[in-house]
Amino acid sequence: MSKIQMKTPLVEMDGDEMTRIVWQQIKDIVITPFVDLKTEYFDLGLVNRDATNDQVTIDSANRTKELGVAVKCATITPNAQRVEEYNLKQMWKSPNGTIRAMLDGTVFRAPILVNGIKPFVSCWKKPITIARHAYGDVYKNSELRVDGAAKAELVVTYPDGRVDRKVIQEFDGAGVIQGMHNTDKSIEAFARACFTYALDIKQDLWFATKDTISKTYDHRFKDIFAEIYEAEFKSKFEAAGIEYFYTLIDDVVARIMRSEGGILWACKNYDGDVMSDMLASACGSLAMMTSVLVSPSGVYEYEAAHGTVTRHYYKYLKGESTSTNPMATLFAWTGALRKRGQMDELPDLVDFADRLEKASIDTIESGTITGDLKNLINVPEKNVVNTEDFLKAIAAKL
């Protein structure tokens, strides 16, 4: 059998721990036997990020801007414990944060739905897609510890010397402060990405902030969405028979729990981080959640929504067999290959991505599953296997 050919390479961003092992298994078992895989490889594993002073992360994001499509493995975001564990030069920033800031995109996350796994929220009949603003707020903040009585202020200095000041707090003892920002440009790009994606998938768009409390910051998000909707999208939404709906973040959470699904839910950066884990768990498993970062210039970065599955990795290091679910990472690969196929006009590559996704869903529906799905799925016979055997079962179907 001749292998499917590619034109432009994918930017391949390797990662850490269990997902790094699964990454290689996916390539070996279900991709390279069928596709003459072309990638430009960047090792974003923590060891290499430390060795390159995190330059490798920046290089990979720059190359993604040039080539257009990347696929990323989960990576460790170092904390104090990791600094010790890996003997790091410093507590490097989250690679996802760095890449998102450089591509200034919106992250769309949707669960992989299979027959036999019912969402815990029984009224959800259709998938809910979360659009996470991927720039700014607490992910690009400046924080300070205040170590005693002090006056903390926000200070903005314009090039012409004009200064804006506002008191944050008059401290009478120790505490903490943080400053965060967003830009009109990024919020506008976020809004357009959400309206465009809603039209693409023909689903209502819901957006929420806490503008009653954050009367300047969050209110700016609300206003920009409203202005862009009125000026550019209202008539298109009406023609498509879909709606744009704005409310408060706590109200939207309550409404989502009572909805049927089939909604694109636009979230500010932090809300999207938290709510996508909630959504993934409610739909089964974190391992069944796909994620794609779309930049305003049309650059795509595909990844899994979960982390490096550390607990499984420590078992793996002890020589124990692990049953880590590779679905989300596999769908990152199929998403990237499909997009590459569409951009390069390679119908065989697009077709391969479709078939690989179908084979993996069929494998689960026929009862061959990883451990995380054991108590979630309702099928006549369950066959819990390790990651390698799960991938081999997919390859056999393929």
Residues that bind ligand NAP (CB under 6 A): 74-77, 96, 286-287, 303, 306-311, 324-325, 372
Which strand (E) or helix (H) includes residue 293?
strand 289-294
- Asked if residue 29 lies in contact with residue 391, where contact means CB atoms within 8 angstroms, the answer is yes
Residue with tokens 């002090």, as numbered in its chain:
150
Q: Select the binding partner of residue 286 from ligand NAP, Mg ion, none (C-beta < 5 to 8 A, by kind).
A: ligand NAP
Q: Select the binding partner of residue 273 from Mg ion, ligand NAP, none (C-beta < 5 to 8 A, by kind).
A: Mg ion
Least Å from the CB of residue 254 to Mg ion: 21
Closest CA to 130 of 292, 260, 245: 292
Number of other residues whose CB lies within 10 A of the CB of residue 382: 14
Selected range binding Mg ion among 48-56, 122-130, 227-235, 269-277, rule: CB under 5 A: 269-277
Least Å from the CB of residue 374 to ligand NAP: 11
- Asked if residue 382 lies in contact with residue 375, where contact means CB atoms within 8 angstroms, the answer is no
Q: State the Cα angle at 97 between 91 and 98, rounded to 5°.
A: 80
Take residue 101 and report the two structure tokens written for it. 């800031």
- Asked if residue 65 lies in contact with residue 36, where contact means CB atoms within 8 angstroms, the answer is no
Nearer to Mg ion, 59 or 277 (CB): 277
Least Å from the CB of residue 395 to ligand NAP: 18
Least Å from the CB of residue 332 to ligand NAP: 10
Q: Select the binding partner of residue 372 from Mg ion, ligand NAP, none (C-beta < 5 to 8 A, by kind).
A: ligand NAP
Q: Which residues contact 301 (CB under 8 A, 6 or more apart)?
A: 11, 64, 69, 70, 71, 72, 99, 103, 105, 292, 293
Least Å from the CB of residue 19 to ligand NAP: 7
**SS3 of residue 183 by DSSP:** coil
Nearer to Mg ion, 271 or 357 (CB): 271
Q: Select the binding partner of residue 77 from ligand NAP, Mg ion, none (C-beta < 5 to 8 A, by kind).
A: ligand NAP
Q: Does 271 bind Mg ion (CB under 5 A)?
A: no
Nearer to ligand NAP, 74 or 249 (CB): 74
Least Å from the CB of residue 279 to Mg ion: 11
3-state secondary structure 54-76: CHHHHHHHHHHHHHCEEEECCCC
Q: Select the binding partner of residue 360 from Mg ion, ligand NAP, none (C-beta < 5 to 8 A, by kind).
A: none
Task: Measure the CA–CA gap between 281 and 371, rounded to whole angstroms.
Answer: 15
Selected range binding Mg ion among 68-76, 205-213, 265-273, 388-396, rule: CB under 5 A: 265-273
Q: Does 301 bind Mg ion (CB under 5 A)?
A: no
Q: Select the binding partner of residue 307 from ligand NAP, Mg ion, none (C-beta < 5 to 8 A, by kind).
A: ligand NAP
Residue with tokens 């490097």, as numbered in its chain:
92
Task: Measure the CA–CA gap between 347 and 341, rounded to whole angstroms.
Answer: 6
Nearer to Mg ion, 68 or 105 (CB): 105
Q: Does 273 bind Mg ion (CB under 5 A)?
A: yes
Q: Which residues bind Mg ion (CB under 5 A)?
A: 273, 277
